Amino acid sequence: MSIQLGKLCSRIIEQHFGEVVRTVVDDLFASIAKPLSQIIRSTGLTKSEVCKSLAILIKFNMVGFSLNKARTGYEYRLHYDRIVMVLRYPRYVHLIQTKFGHESAVLMEELLRSGTQCASYIIVKSMSNVDGKDNNTLALLRDKFADLAQENYITRAPEPKPSDGGADLMELCHDIPNPFLMPELDLRVLKELHEGKPVKVPDEDVHWVVNVEQFHIDFRNSIMVTAIERLIDSNAGECMKYLLQLMRERTNPWEAVSNPIALVDLRQRCERKSQNVEMLRYLDQYISVMESNDYLSKFDTKGGGQFTVNVKRIFEQLTWACIENIIVEKYGSKAARIFRVVRMKKYVEQEDIQKEAMVPAKDAKLLTYKLLEENFLQIQTFRKPGGGNSGAPKSFFLFYVNQPQIVSMLLELSYKALYNSITRLTHDKTVNKRLIEKSQRLESIVETMKERGESEAYINEILETLTPPEQEILAKVKLRVKSLYSAEIGIDETIFMLKLYQEYQK
């Protein structure tokens, strides 16, 4: 945990849940675990406010609770990674929209907004955001919800059970036999619930949450496929996609190295699912190129050859590429060349850097110490002991690269950049709130007038109530907001990749 991460979590919570919940999150971030009494004492809030805040955070899986060592009360812990994932919610919805369609995206958005909820209420609430609202819509939403559960994008929430310490205390049971089993939902009951009738839903004890792990597996696979496409071509990317499918069937999805995959099995999978003749013709060559780049490792020669997918090595290479791109953007191509030389040589002296990187001595020294100052390079001092009266011992310095330390530093910078982006976005919206609301009202009025068939002259007269200076300011604000949203997405993708690197290094 870091200061920048704490500020980012605080800003996200304040933006989505308000000041009181933010106070509770700030207090929990400063400690590992706290009982309710200590949270009330340190925050200065009332017991009711703290309990409501904790209930909200637990509902969205941003806080977890467990029994203390004496098993007489609860301790609360903050899941700060889940707070940062709030910024990833639009990507989750977009992925579902792409794979399953609009109705599934509406269901996913409603579940993300609810945090934890039973299927019946999610389906009924989603009815208002679906285009067609006929008798078949409820059946369609029920089937789409079942598809999301079957594909592991949603899972059952842990169920509370009485603890051994006392009848009044409860524990969460995470060991659910089939966490993706969909309960039976009666369409008649769903229809009555939609009409507002008081009815008891059969699945009120079965709550669902978003399975972020499945989304992250898809994001990870997408990063690897895109990397192969850029390195080789689109055919190699398609080949990698089928390799990852076979890996998922045979290996724990988060293993650093997959179980062996036979080339024969890969060829059969490609022939069955792909119409790409060129990829099938040169499949052996694509595998050889991926092996030469350390994306695959040869395990055995039987069955036409067996290969393993080295996920850990892939993300090491992608992280190196990310670091070098950042250095190019901040300090230029010469600095990136110096960094690359130090990385390849592992330990290198200052004089050797300028020779190997083919950079003038003055520039090489300036850029090397700039990278050292910014923690992209580290320095190791060695002393050569002097003999007798030969004077003071001679020292020489070797430069080297510490990748885990650079990744930690870049994560800090990313958290800081995200915090600044969100703060600036909030500021722009607050300062120009009146103008934005006026523009939205005008757009709503114009839309209604077009539906009524009003004349263009009358519509233009209404639009002219927004003066040219206001239009210019509004255009600038919209452009800045769009740029900041794009920056947030890009920074989050970088954070995701760097966090994956850290996970695979454990």
Q: What is the pLDDT of residues 447-463, one digit of tens each?
A: 887 777 777 777 777 77
Tokens of 73: 């009360």
C-alpha to C-alpha distance for 418 and 486, rounded to whole angstroms: 11
Is 406 within 8 Å of 375 (Cβ atoms)? yes
CA torsion, ordered 275, 277, 279, 284, to nearest 10 deg: 120
Within 10 angstroms of residue 473's Cβ, the number of other Cβ atoms is 14
53/339 Cα distance (integer angstroms): 47
User: What domains appear along the chain, each with residue ranges and CATH number?
Assistant: 3-79 (1.10.10.10), 87-210 (1.10.10.10), 217-309 (1.10.10.10), 314-384+394-401 (1.10.10.10), 406-505 (no CATH)
Q: What pLDDT was estimated at residue 469? A: 84
Mean predicted confidence (pLDDT) in 117-130: 86
Three-state DSSP state, 154: strand
Q: Specify the higher pLDDT residue, 254 or 301.
A: 254
pTM: 0.87
Task: Give the tokens for residue 16.
Answer: 């989505």
Residue 317 has what pLDDT? 92
Answer yes or no: are the C-beta atoms of 84 and 8 closer than 8 Å: yes
Tell me what pLDDT residue 501 has.
93
Per-residue confidence band for 13, with pLDDT thresholds at 50, 70 and 90: very high
Looking at per-residue confidence, does 450 or 429 come out higher?
429
* Of the candidates 482, 498, 345, the residue with the CA atom closest to the CA atom of residue 410: 498
41 pLDDT more than 80: yes
One-letter amino acid of 50: V
Q: What is the DSSP string of 445-477?
A: HHHHHHHHT--HHHHHHHHTTS-HHHHHHHHHH
Could you tell me which residues are beta bridge partners of residue 430? none
If we measure between CA atoms, which residue out of 54, 74, 58 comes closest to residue 66?
74
Whether residue 137 contacts residue 130, with contact meaning beta carbons closer than 8 Å, is answered with: yes
Amino acid at 444: S
Contact (CB, 8 A) for 231 and 278: no
More confident residue, 309 or 172: 309
Res 7: pLDDT: 92
What value does the mean pLDDT of the chain take? Answer: 86
Contacts of 134 (CB under 8 A, 6+ apart): none
Question: Is it the case that residue 141 has pLDDT exceeding 60?
Answer: yes
pLDDT at 303: 67
User: Do the Cβ atoms of 443 and 451 come closer than 8 Å?
Assistant: no
Tell me the HSE value of 50 on the side-chain side, using a 13 A CA sphere. 19
Report, in this order, helix, strand and coil percent for the chain, each rounded to 5: 65, 10, 25
Which DSSP category does 400 fall into?
A: E
Backbone φ/ψ region at 391: left (φ over 0), alpha (ψ -120 to 50), beta:
left
CB–CB of 92/106 below 8 Å? Answer: no
Q: Which long-range contacts (CB under 8 A, 24 or more apart) does 341-350 make?
A: 342/377, 342/399, 342/400, 342/401, 343/401, 346/400, 347/380, 347/398, 347/399, 347/400, 348/398, 348/399, 348/400, 349/396, 349/397, 349/398, 349/399, 350/397, 350/399
Q: Where are the beta strands (DSSP E) in 279-406?
A: 296-300, 306-309, 378-384, 394-400
